[in-house]
Chains A and B, each alone.
Chain A
Amino acid sequence: MEHYSMNLTLKVWKQKNAKAKGSFETFEVNDISSEMSFLEMFDVLNEKLIHEGKDAIAFDHDCREGICGTCSMYINGRPHGPWHGTTTCQLHMRAFKDGDTIVVEPWRAKAFPVIKDLIVDRTSFDKIIQAGGYISVNTGSAVDGNAMPVEKDNADKAFAAAACIGCGACVAACKNSSALLFVAAKVAHLALVPQGAPERKTRVMNMINVMDKEGFGSCTFTTACEAVCPKEISVTNISRLNQEYFLAGLTGDK
């Protein structure tokens, strides 16, 4: 692959803190190598800003290998940018060409308030998990790992759902800021393994309740979430969640 270098114009959301009013600021970056990752391009920009005596742009990032779910930039109108099935940190500058203007914003959702610049608060996701995204088993009380066989097909589907990295791109892409794909991935993961069965009715009910309470919108099934999910979590998980929800509603004691 031929490498090239490029000059870019960046329009980046700057916001001092949660209360301040934010706005776009324009920055120029030069000699960006096509081999860099998108976040390395931001590193270059920040080094330049620090050198000029200005504030660096705050953005969330950690593992930089697409698995921790921390990075969260809304790039040119799409969560995580133009590449399919890719987190911001794995997006590379080959995706752009010399002279491009790139617009970068934080996730926009009521349940994800901006903390600073491109950083948002996603603790609402932790609260949804607290409502039931687990199997209640204390350490030490487990039976042998092979005591309960799990159909391979179900185990594979459970894994595919559990691959969710909790980044919030699904919420950012949704016109209603719904978190249903995130909730569905967890409900489906735990409904597909037999260990999750005892709590399946309360789990789905409680998680949906907290999702609503945290200010996420309703799902109208536009499937924008699936289209931008860096881990390609399928909307069929939402169908499974609906099934779980109806089952719980029809047969639940509460």
Chain B
Amino acid sequence: MPNSKIPAGPLEQKWTDYKGHCKLVNPANKRKLEIIIVGTGLAGASAAASLGELGYKVKAFCFQDSPRRAHSIAAQGGINAAKNYQNDGDSVFRLFYDTIKGGDYRSREANVHRLAEVSASIIDQCVAQGVPFAREYGGLLNNRSFGGTQVKRTFYAAGQTGQQLLIGAYQALERQVALGNVSMYTRHEMLDVVVVDGKARGIICRNLVTGELERYFGHAVLLCSGGYGNVFYLSTNAMGSNVTAAWKAHKRGAYFANPCFTQIHPTCIPVTGDHQSKLTLMSESLRNDGRIWVPKKQNDTRKANDIPEEERDYYLERRYPAFGNLVPRDVASRAAKERCDAGYGVGTTKQAVYLDFKYNLINKYGRVEAGKLGIENPDIETLVRLGKEVVKEEYGNLFDMYEKITGENPYEVPMRIYPAVHYTMGGLWVDYELMTSVPGLYCLGEANFSDHGANRLGASALMQGLADGYFVIPYTMGNYLADEIATKPIPTNHEAFEAAEKGVHARINTLMNIKGAQSVESFHKRLGKIMWEKCGMARNEKGLQEAIKEIQALKIEFWKDVKIPGSIHEMNPELDKANRVADFIELGELMCLDALQRNESCGGHFREESQTEDGEALRHDDQFMYVSAWEHAGESNWNLQKEVLEYELIKPSQRNYK
């Protein structure tokens, strides 16, 4: 069983005790120690800035043209923190509890408690950096409420919270670049980890502008490279988001944990056709005011506004009267799929349901506004007009985005939405110190598995990325590097660097020399289709076994018939993509394997064999209360290590939203 190195003592004291007793590196020695950071999203940028401030020599890498482009920038809703500014009973314990429960009891208590403890400091840090959070008229910070909680603890900046937090971290990072503490390498992609005497000591990168391979040494290596949702081809991730850095680490000995735990977000703009390249999220906050429905009649071809009230099925309100439209993401997604599979879907593809604002626009907002203006017995038109103004203020930018993409006006006709891949809870296995199973190799943010169990709550991803980078790694890094102060920088002509670069070079050569007939994109689409159909919202034994065989066959075909234009020693986005898709194919197989062994339903992982009589997810704590940590053992071969989860403070219970 992997050693999670959870400190002894009561849960509430662990982090304080750890900080009080971990080893330190003095300022003079810090200047001699080099740290490599791969990825510059919230986790990577905040880590690079914080470690640079401490005096370490940091080298930061990103594949984008600037660290400010990382996909953290697209997060809409907000960031949670246990500040209790609203005096509504929030506390570190409640944030901790909500996160564990939201994760369906498949995350590590000690890590989640630490996350809740440091959450308040994140807000302070961001405010000090000038992040323009939403404020009240009195000048104090405002909060909104999110799914899976009963308090208002979410801080936000309109629908662009991720952007504002990332710009804050990016600016802190650029400040360290100016001071000479951080060297920034943009348009660089990590293609291998270099391990010397069992410890991570460097990376091999491809310079994406020149195509040359480059070697970099570090006393430690941090991967902050984000999630792997693009294994499904279509997801809300950015086009460049990939698993390559994490996957290379995995093949060098880092365990991959809970790969099958993926989050399918219920409210995204549906697919329109084969040309579709990505999917766009419509924030969870819309479910506060939108009612989800499908026609009561199968294959109903009438327009939404022509379907009378009594012929609409508000299926979430029907199935979950207690939570209604605000059930957690996993439950809402499965319910939409169930209706569409049964033939009640809408739109040209029939793979969509309606998210309708009309009711609340008239009854919730319109009536209040009419009341304020003293209009007695307002007609429907007046109510619509008044309600529209309020909705515009709340969600205007999302409504505009919807209209740009679909050409339909969501104030007039209901939005069409469908679930889409959004986030991956699984990732590289890390211990309490965020170190992977390779000494000196760390993993932060979405790329690791640690804090969200089988389902992440809204507004918690930003919190985790920044917690890891600003407030966890500066301590745990020192605890490791204190023993490395005598280690001289290893020259990059060391045989381990030579061998690693040779391996990368050989693989790129092989790829370029296949000269087959099918584009990288076409393979990626086919992989995505297999994953979505057989390892998506619902999974079963037969489908997963088929998927594994299909992916293995796809892999063989890819390496025989892929066609990559251009050459090696130049900028070649198709080659970059081929490198990534080759890794996604291997990951896809592992995800199916993981989903196959976990014969229970929990959070985002729904095994059809494990459900209650009314079709709800059914956990099996007696058999599956563990983290599955996969050790790579050769081609299509993995050993399963189990980290048993022990709950000290919280008693797991079956979730119920009826």
Contacts and interface: CB of A to CB of B under 8 A. Distances in A.
B178 A130 contact: yes
A86 B401 CA distance: 9
Contact of B566 (A55, A138, A145, A163): A55
A81 B170 CA distance: 28
A195 B130 CA distance: 6
Given A43-B277, A139-B471, A130 B177 contact: yes
A163 B160 CA distance: 8
Contacts of A40: 275-277
Contacts of B471: 139-140
A34 B239 CA distance: 21
B563 A139 contact: no
B136 interface: yes
B552 to A, nearest CB: 25
A247 interface: no
A135 to B, nearest CB: 5
A143 B574 contact: no
A238 to B, nearest CB: 19
A139 B49 CA distance: 8
Interface in A201-236: none
Given A62-B240, A64-B278, A126-B66, A189 B71 contact: no
A232 B281 CA distance: 22
A116 interface: yes
A142 interface: yes
Given A17-B570, A56-B565, A115-B571, A67 B277 contact: no
Interface stretch (A6-14, A46-54, A97-105, A172-180): A46-54
A123 B209 CA distance: 13
B364 to A, nearest CB: 24
B519 interface: yes
B137 A67 contact: no
B110 interface: no
Interface stretch (B101-109, B138-146, B433-441, B488-496): B138-146
B66 A166 contact: yes
Interface in B555-594: 563, 565-566, 570-571, 573-574
> Could you say which of A90, A133, A146 has the most chain B C-beta atoms within 10 Å of its C-beta?
A146
Given A58-B573, A122-B66, A139-B49, A47 B519 contact: yes
B394 interface: no
B73 interface: yes
A91 to B, nearest CB: 8
> Could you say which of B69, B140, B172, B471 has the most chain A C-beta atoms within 10 Å of its C-beta?
B69
Interface in B398-420: 401, 404-408
A94 B571 contact: no
Nearest to A191: B130
B521 A47 contact: yes
A253 interface: no
B167 interface: yes
B239 A61 contact: yes
B50 interface: yes
B68 interface: yes
A45 B66 CA distance: 27
B157 interface: yes
A106 interface: no
B476 interface: no
B64 to A, nearest CB: 6
B65 A60 contact: yes
Nearest to B237: A63
A195 B128 contact: yes
B164 A162 contact: yes
How large, as a class, is the contact surface on chain A? Answer: 35 or more
Contacts of A86: 404
A116 B65 CA distance: 13
Contact of B139 (A122, A134, A152, A162): A152
A43 B127 contact: no
Contact of B127 (A39, A65, A121, A195): A195
A134 B175 contact: yes
Interface string A128-158: 0111011111111111111011111001101
B240 A50 contact: no
A162 B132 contact: yes
Contacts of A241: none
B657 interface: no
Nearest to B184: A126
A1 B280 CA distance: 19
> Could you say which of B65, B127, B470, B574 has the most chain A C-beta atoms within 10 Å of its C-beta?
B65
Contacts of B71: 62-63, 68
B6 interface: no
> Could you say which of A139, A142, A144 has the most chain B C-beta atoms within 10 Å of its C-beta?
A139
B141 A70 contact: no
A72 to B, nearest CB: 9
Contacts of A165: 163
Contact of A159 (B50, B138, B164, B565): B164
A64 B281 CA distance: 11
Nearest to B128: A142
A163 B141 CA distance: 19
Contacts of B67: 126
A143 to B, nearest CB: 7
Nearest to B66: A126
B140 A149 contact: yes
Given A33-B273, A143-B128, A145-B124, A134 B404 contact: no
A134 B238 contact: no
B382 interface: no
A92 interface: yes
Given A53-B565, A56-B574, A119-B571, A139 B178 contact: no
B459 to A, nearest CB: 16
A119 B167 CA distance: 22
B411 to A, nearest CB: 15
B521 A64 contact: no
A17 B158 contact: no
A193 B132 contact: yes
Contact of B141 (A63, A145, A158): A145
Contacts of A44: 275
B395 to A, nearest CB: 15
A36 B167 CA distance: 30
A79 interface: no
Contact of A158 (B46, B130, B236, B275): B130
A34 B130 CA distance: 41
B171 interface: yes
B405 A134 contact: no
B175 A130 contact: yes
A134 B171 CA distance: 5
B129 interface: yes
Contacts of A66: 401
A190 interface: yes
B74 A17 contact: no
Nearest to A39: B277
Contact of B405 (A47, A92, A159): A92
Interface string A181-195: 000000001100101
Interface in B246-277: 272-273, 275-277
A16 B474 CA distance: 43
B179 to A, nearest CB: 9
A146 B140 contact: yes
A165 B73 CA distance: 10
Given A62-B239, A63-B238, A149-B138, A90 B401 contact: yes
A155 B158 CA distance: 12
Contacts of B164: 159, 162
Given A139-B53, A144-B124, A134 B74 contact: no
B65 A133 contact: no
12 contacts: A40-B277, A62-B238, A63-B73, A70-B65, A70-B69, A86-B404, A138-B50, A139-B471, A145-B127, A158-B132, A162-B167, A166-B68
Given A37-B277, A152-B137, 14 more contacts: A16-B570, A33-B275, A34-B407, A50-B574, A62-B64, A63-B71, A63-B73, A63-B239, A68-B70, A70-B69, A90-B404, A126-B184, A155-B134, A190-B130
